[in-house]
Amino acid sequence: MTNTTQIDQIAERVERLLVRHEELQRTNALLAQQLQEVSHERDLLKSRLGAARHRIDALIDRLPQGADAKEAG
């Protein structure tokens, strides 16, 4: 095998590695964007859940105090 052939093979491998590296960078950027979007959605859902809990607690506080005891007895 001549030096030129070895150099050509190495150059081809380097080119393939560079292409693969670029693909992985694009994939990583897309995954980072998806993670950011999902994290934002999670934060919104947590906020909505907290607001719903607050409304339920407020409704429970408005219930008459003796209602459960009267119905049970």
Evaluate if residue 72 carries a pLDDT over 80.
no
Evaluate if residue 2 carries a pLDDT over 70.
yes
Paired tokens of 73: 């007895």
| pTM of the predicted model as reported, rounded to 2 decimal places | 0.65
Domain boundaries in the chain? 3-61
- Give 6-57 pLDDT, tens digit per residue: 999 999 999 999 999 999 999 999 999 999 999 999 999 999 999 999 999 9
* Residue 73 pLDDT: 54
Residue 59 CA, distance from chain mean position: 33
- Helix H or strand E encompassing 12: helix 3-62
State the CB neighbour count (10 A cutoff) for residue 39: 10
d(CA 68, CA 60): 12
* Residue 71 pLDDT: 61
